[in-house]
A and B are shown apart, each in its own frame.
With several copies, the nearest count.
Chain A
Amino acid sequence: MKKFTLAETPFDIAPLRAALVRGEAGAFASFEGWVRNHNEGRDVHGLRYEAYAALAEAEGERVLSEALAKFEIADACCVHRVGDLAIGDMAVWVGVSAGHRDAAFAACRFIIDEVKARVPIWKHERYADGAADWLHPEPPTA
Chain B
Amino acid sequence: MTQVTVLYFASLRDAAGMTSETIGSDASDLRGLYETLQARHGFVLPVGRLRVAVDGAFARWEEPLREGSEVAFIPPVSGG
Within the complex, are A and B direct neighbours (CB within 8 Å)?
Answer: yes
* Given the contacts A52-B7, A55-B58, A124-B10, A136 and B53 also touching, CB distance less than 8 Å: no
* Given the contacts A50-B10, A54-B56, A55-B57, A92 and B76 also touching, CB distance less than 8 Å: no
Contact of B74 among A92, A116, A120, A139 (CB under 8 A): A120
Interface residue SS majority, chain A: mixed
Q: Does B28 contact A (CB under 8 A)?
A: no
The answer on a CB contact under 8 Å between A33 and B53 is no
Within the assembled complex, what's the spacing in Å between the Cα atoms of A55 and B75?
Answer: 13
The answer on a CB contact under 8 Å between B79 and A92 is yes
Counting contact residues on chain B (CB < 8 A from A), the size range is 10 to 19
Contact of B79 among A54, A58, A123 (CB under 8 A): A123
Q: Does B36 contact A (CB under 8 A)?
A: no
The answer on a CB contact under 8 Å between A117 and B77 is yes
Contact of A136 among B56, B57, B58, B78 (CB under 8 A): B78
Within the assembled complex, what's the spacing in Å between the Cα atoms of A138 and B78?
Answer: 10
Extra 19 A-B pairs, beta carbons < 8 Å, given A55-B57, A122-B79:
A49-B79, A50-B10, A52-B9, A58-B57, A59-B58, A91-B79, A91-B80, A116-B77, A118-B77, A120-B72, A120-B77, A121-B80, A122-B75, A123-B78, A134-B14, A134-B78, A138-B76, A139-B49, A139-B76
A-B contact pairs, 23 of them (CB 8 A): A50-B10, A55-B74, A56-B79, A80-B79, A92-B79, A112-B80, A115-B79, A116-B78, A116-B79, A119-B77, A120-B9, A120-B53, A120-B72, A120-B74, A120-B79, A121-B77, A122-B10, A123-B79, A134-B10, A136-B10, A136-B49, A137-B76, A137-B78
* B positions within 8 Å CB-CB of A: 7, 9-11, 14, 45, 49, 53, 56-58, 72, 74-80
